[in-house]
Structure 1
Amino acid sequence: MFQLTGYVMRFEDLRVWQRSADLACEIYLHFKQSKEFGLKDQITRSALSISSNIAEGYERITPKDYIRFLSYSKGSCGELRSQIYIALKIGEVDTTKATEWVEETRELSRMISALMKSIDAWE
């Protein structure tokens, strides 16, 4: 397992992982009863992918591997944001919730970028 410093001992300690896992839970619960099965499947998968790739990268051996998985996670933020816009257009989510989720994906993307830069600096 690659560790940046002595103060982050587990991926569960990373605020970006905590927030992305919370977002995934919120999206999963929102779409739980949706009949739009294609969107439901895709949007929950992309939401789950953000925190999952942060965790998987953290557990990898090298900083290069960690950065690669963080890049996947950042890509999933964009994918999820795109799907939120579509969900809004077809009435599966209201404007307030869509705006909240879009802003959270943007913030997660910024946090992931900052984490990637900090890892790159350690190499």
Structure 2
Amino acid sequence: MNFEKLQVWQRSVTLSAALYKGLSELRDFSFRDQITRSGLSIPSNIAEGMTRRTDKEKIHFLVVARSSCAELRTQVYLGIDIGYIHAKLGKQWLEETREISAMINGLMVKLQNND
């Protein structure tokens, strides 16, 4: 399966880029680094997983991607609370992480049903 054709990968790449752009002026470098790493981890793990040979290996990396999505969602909540992320933008990012997580779940189910 070509990961580049997966909508979940494409959307997570777009989200990751949006995080970098949206937080480019943030002077708290450790927070910015952590949240952008979480965002970057999602498409990276999808890509790595989907290039593995077995469905079990693919699912493992999708679990990691889904966990990174949850980590990112937590950081967005915190960023909103401390004023680093505007509420409107943060809500968009939160919704996108929820949808990406659901898409990852769907892909995992599809792979599990291949057995």
TM-score interval for Structure 1 and Structure 2 normalised by the shorter chain:
over 0.9
1:14 equivalent to 2:3? Answer: no
CA RMSD of aligned residues (A): 0.7
Alpha-carbon shift at residue 23 of structure 1 (Å) = 0.1
- The range that moved more, 86-95 or 45-54, is 86-95
Question: Counterpart of 1:110 in 2: which secondary structure?
Answer: helix
Residue in structure 2 matched with residue 88 of structure 1 by the alignment: 80
- Over residues 68-91 of structure 1, what are the superposed CA-to-partner deviations in whole Å (9 max), with x where a residue is unaligned? 000000001100000001111111
Distance 2:8 2:83 in 1: 29
- Over residues 24-60 of structure 1, what are the superposed CA-to-partner deviations in whole Å (9 max), with x where a residue is unaligned? 0000111122101111010000000000000000111
Structure 1 portions without partners, runs of 5+: 4-9
* TM-score w.r.t. length of structure 2: 0.98
Q: Which runs of 4+ in 1 moved over 2 A?
A: none
Residue in structure 1 matched with residue 63 of structure 2 by the alignment: 71
Letter in 2 for 1:57: G
1:26 equivalent to 2:26? Answer: no
Question: Counterpart of 1:49 in 2: which secondary structure?
Answer: helix
Identical aligned residues as a percent: 45
Distance 2:108 2:60 in 1: 9
